[in-house]
Each structure stands twice: as C-alpha cells, then as structure tokens.
C-alpha cells in the first residue's frame, strides 16, 4: 500500500512540475509580447467578422470531429460527436502549449485522450489519426500549388503546365501508394502492431498503478 502511495505521489509531483514549467514558459512568452497592442487591435477589429471567424473555427472543429467519427466507425468504434469534439479541443490545447504539433503533440495527445475518455486502444486511435494525416496530405499540397500559381504575377503557360503535371503525379502516386498499403491485411496488421508497441509506453504507468492497487487491496503491500 505504501508503495502505491509513493507511486501516486511521484506522479502528482511530476504533473505539478510539468504545470509549473508550462506556466513559466507561457509567462516568459507573454512577457515578450505587446499584449496592450494586441488588445487594441482586437478593439479596432470588426466584431461581426470576429464572431464569424470564431463560428467558422467552431464549425471546423465540428467537421473534424465528424470526419474522425467516420474513420473510428470503420475500425469498429462508435463514439459520439460531442465526445470527439472535446477530445479534439484537448488535443488542440496540447498543440498550443507544446512544440510538437503534428510530429507528436496532436497524434499522441488525441490518442491518449481518446483512450482515457472512451477506452479505445492506442493502436486504433493512433491508426485513425495517422489515416487522417495521410489523406490530408493531398489537400495541403493542393493549397500549396494553388498558392504558388497565384503568387507568381506572370507565369508562362509551359511553367503552369509543368507545375500542374507535377501536382497531379504526386496526388495520383500518393493515392495509389495509400491504396496498395492498406489493401493487404498483413500490412495493416504490421502497422497496427508497430503503433501498439509505440503507444504501449503510455499504458505502463496506468497498468503499474492498477497492479500496485490490486496488491494493496490483497494485503500484499
């Protein structure tokens, strides 16, 4: 029992230390910014446009939750849109306070929150998030290519054709590669196994705590 209490105390201290570090970094970053000028800019902004922008943001998160609901349902998990909406907001918060974003903050945070709130395995959650990123790549590339064409004031027709052909080749190649990888069950199983081993790291503290709690309830500690 004492061992369980020590483990819980250590986790609490680590969490408190993490909060202190995050608050200190946030205070340092805010101290370097001109907050008064930021509030002045908000005061001069059109309130109608601010409300519309906020509404578009909330709608975007809702659409994101709906898309994630579809991908989760394809792997056999039914989760309500409201729950996914909250999980996504939690992932966005972690993205904003950590430097990882798509290299770790978003996929890891969302899979972790989904597991803790909905009891969905890390491998399933991480696989659906990874699938979203793979499908997002052609969209991001399309925006980049359109921006590239629009940023050039005068583009020769042959240059525009080369850019568009390069764009189409990447989109088609990426789609074929994605289809080829996911059509085989063995390939999907290997990917799932790798993801499960990586995300299993986050299960160890919780499993260890439950194990110590069980031993304590049996009078072994």
How buried is residue 118: exposed, middle or buried, by Cβ count under 10 Å (0-12/13-18/19+)? middle
- Position 201 scores a pLDDT of 54
Rg (CA), the chain: 23
pLDDT band at 52 (very low <50, low <70, confident <90, very high): very high
| Better-predicted residue by pLDDT, 65 or 177 | 65
Distance, CA of 159 to CA of 157 (rounded, Å) = 5
Indicate if the pLDDT at residue 11 is higher than 90: no
Most confident of 42-46, 96-100, 185-189: 42-46
Residues 6 or more apart from 198 whose CB is under 8 A from it?
A: 126
pLDDT band at 216 (very low <50, low <70, confident <90, very high): very low
Lowest mean pLDDT among 63-77, 99-113, 140-154, 186-200: 186-200
- Position 83 scores a pLDDT of 92
| Better-predicted residue by pLDDT, 117 or 130 | 117
Indicate if the pLDDT at residue 200 is higher than 50: yes
Indicate if the pLDDT at residue 211 is higher than 50: no
Q: Which runs of consecutive H residues, i.e. helices, occur in 46-121?
A: 47-74, 81-97, 105-118
Q: What are all long-range contacts of 15-24, with beta carbons under 8 Å and residues at least 24 apart?
A: 22/97
pTM to 2 decimals? 0.60
Contact 127, 195 (CB under 8 A): yes
């Amino acid at each position: 029992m004492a061992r369980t209490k020590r483990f819980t105390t250590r986790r609490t201290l680590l969490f408190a230390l993490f909060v202190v570090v995050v608050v200190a970094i946030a205070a340092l970053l805010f101290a370097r910014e001109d907050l008064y000028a930021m509030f002045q800019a908000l005061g001069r902004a059109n309130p109608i446009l601010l409300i519309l922008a906020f509404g578009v943001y909330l709608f975007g998160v809702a659409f994101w939750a709906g898309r994630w609901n579809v991908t989760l349902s394809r792997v056999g998990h039914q989760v309500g849109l409201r729950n996914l909406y909250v999980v996504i907001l939690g992932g966005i918060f972690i993205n904003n306070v950590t430097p990882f974003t798509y290299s770790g903050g978003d996929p890891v945070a969302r899979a972790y929150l989904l597991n803790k709130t909905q009891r969905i395995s890390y491998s399933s959650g991480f696989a659906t998030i990874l699938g979203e990123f793979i499908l997002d790549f052609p969209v991001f590339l399309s925006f980049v290519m359109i921006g590239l064409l629009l940023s050039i004031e005068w583009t020769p027709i042959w240059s525009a054709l080369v850019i568009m052909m390069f764009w189409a080749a990447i989109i088609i190649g990426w789609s074929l590669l994605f289809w080829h990888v996911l059509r085989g069950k063995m390939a999907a199983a290997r990917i799932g196994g790798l993801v499960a081993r990586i995300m299993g790291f986050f299960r160890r503290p919780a499993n260890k705590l439950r194990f110590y709690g069980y031993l304590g309830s049996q009078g072994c500690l």
